[in-house]
Chains A and B, each alone.
Chain A
Amino acid sequence: MVYIKWGFRVIFWTAVIAFLHYTLPQRDIVRITDTYEQRIEPGDNALFWSNADTGDNRQATGRDVFFIQSFLSDEQPMIYRNEDTGWGWPPYFKFDAANLQAQAADAVSNRDGENARWVKVLHYGWRNEFLSIYPNAISVQPVSGPDARIIPWFNIVVLALLAAGYWAIRVRWNRFWARRDEPEGGEWAEKAE
């Protein structure tokens, strides 16, 4: 019984952490090397693609998706997709994929130390080669160099609020059941002095 209980707990919290890790914004410092479009027909990995650009036909099975090719500061390749999230999930309300593609194309540079232009890419999602899924880029901003310091204030605040909310509900939940278990004795009970 104990194993089943802990098994469920582990699965539940793993799912919660994975969900947050996928959904919350993250920043990479990269050097953009190219931008391109590619025809995509999502299959088993459809969960990890957006539906369609805002206003486009959502029933169309295949469509062209913007991509941004880059190298991280440790020279590992990283490819981002650049899709509208529109009014759907996750709630980034991104409608400017084409504008972002223009900015990304404008920041292209090669690996020569002098000419390398480093940018901060805000994104959510995961890169996974086995599923062919890509993180979705949200914005691109120039930074001073590959070792620019980034403090994820937004994530700190969101995680703190989530923890506070979880704690507030948990405390009340426990108090509710504790009160259930030991009845107060009704209206006419003497208060213990």
Chain B
Amino acid sequence: MLALLRLLIVGLIVLTVLYFALSWYFRAERRRRMEADWEAAGRPGTREAYVEAGMEQYQTSLRRKLIWLVYIVPVTSVIVIIYLTNYA
């Protein structure tokens, strides 16, 4: 049981770090693109308002929810591997 616990705890820590790193990276990338977008659109209104509106859209987008795959893919593959190794 100790080995399972160790796997769960280490896995949770590693995946959580990865989750936050990716979500930070994608958000920064998105912000950069919104800023470029604002210039390309001819600088409508204030830059902050334009970027914030874009970021708000991003917060509820499917793209952002896809980061949950960081947890879903490893857990699913562990279950599949356990099945293939021991029962298939």
Contact = CB atoms under 8 A, between A and B. Distances in A.
Whether chain B is bound by chain A comes out as: yes
Interface of A: 51, 54-55, 58, 86-88, 91-96, 99, 138-139, 191
Contacts of B53: none
Interface string B1-44: 11110110000000000000000000000000000000100000
B61 interface: no
B31 to A, nearest CB: 14
A87 B4 contact: yes
B3 A138 contact: no
Contact of B85 (A54, A87, A94): A94
B82 interface: yes
A93 B85 contact: yes
Contacts of B78: 91, 93
Closest 6 CB pairs of A and B: A87-B3, A87-B7, A93-B82, A96-B86, A87-B4, A94-B85
B81 interface: yes
B85 A96 contact: yes
A93 B2 CA distance: 15
Contacts of B2: 58
Interface string B73-84: 000001001100
A117 B82 CA distance: 27
A91 B80 CA distance: 12
A76 B78 CA distance: 34
B81 A54 contact: no
Contacts of A99: 86
Contacts of A91: 78, 81
Nearest to B40: A191
Contacts of A92: 81, 85
B85 A88 contact: no
A55 B1 CA distance: 7
B28 to A, nearest CB: 11
Nearest to B1: A55
A94 B6 contact: no
A100 to B, nearest CB: 9
Given A58-B3, A95-B86, A138-B85, 12 more contacts: A58-B2, A86-B3, A91-B78, A91-B81, A92-B81, A92-B85, A93-B78, A93-B85, A95-B82, A95-B85, A96-B86, A139-B88
B10 to A, nearest CB: 10
Contacts of A51: 3
